[in-house]
Every structure is written in C-alpha cells, then in structure tokens.
Structure 1
Amino acid sequence: MKVTVDLTRCQDHGQCAIAAPDVFRINDEGRLEYDGEPADDRRDDVEEAADVCPVQAILVED
C-alpha cells in the first residue's frame, strides 16, 4: 500500500493521526508527518484516516 498526502491541501487538523497514529503524526512544529508505505495490516485505519480528512488530502493506493 502506498499513502500520499497532498501537503499543499493538508491543514494539519490531525484527524488522520487520531484514526491511524502509527502511520500519521503531528510533529513538534505542528506539521503532519506520515509513513508513505505502511504495512498492509494498517489498511483499515489508513482508509479511515483518508475518510475523516476534512480536506480530503490523503490518497491510498495499492
């Protein structure tokens, strides 16, 4: 699975970090960091994170 976040759209709301904290996190500067190739067993959480993103900045691909 490949995860891409459009950082020009992302507004660092952090909803993804709540849905999938082992894949998405807000750093000390308040900016999003993420694992672009998480394990496939994290798919449900990653897809939930993409769904709850207020600006739909997360793309999940196989």
Structure 2
Amino acid sequence: MKEATAINVQVHVEEFKKELSKEVMTMTCEVGRLQRERQMLEQQIADLFAFFAKQRAEMVRSQKRATNE
C-alpha cells in the first residue's frame, strides 16, 4: 500500500512538473515579448525627443534670422 501511494504521488509530481514547465515557458515568452515592446516604445520616445529638439532648434534659428533682418 505504501509503495502504491508513493508511486501515485510520484505520478502527480511528474504531472505537476510538466504543467509547471509549460507555464514557465509561456511566461518566459511573454516576458520576452514585453521586453521587445518596451524597447520599441523607448526607441519611439527617443525618436520623438530627437524630432522635438530638431524642431525647436530650427524654430530658434528662424527667430534669430527674423530678428537680424
């Protein structure tokens, strides 16, 4: 009886490990996707700041030209 119970417990442990492995793989993929998404968003933000800085610099140059004329 004791041996049968031990085998039954072992079967449940193995089944749990399989399910847990699936969950870990799913979560790992999700974390990877979120990291890529974060990097894309950070790049977009950097691009927007660069565009803003360029526009501001052009505006300052235009204002200087207008005051010099």
TM-score, normalised with respect to structure 1: 0.24
Q: Higher RCO, 1 or 2 (CA under 8 Å, sep at least 6)? A: 1
Which has the larger Rg? 2
Richer in strand (by share): 1
TM-score, normalised with respect to structure 2: 0.22
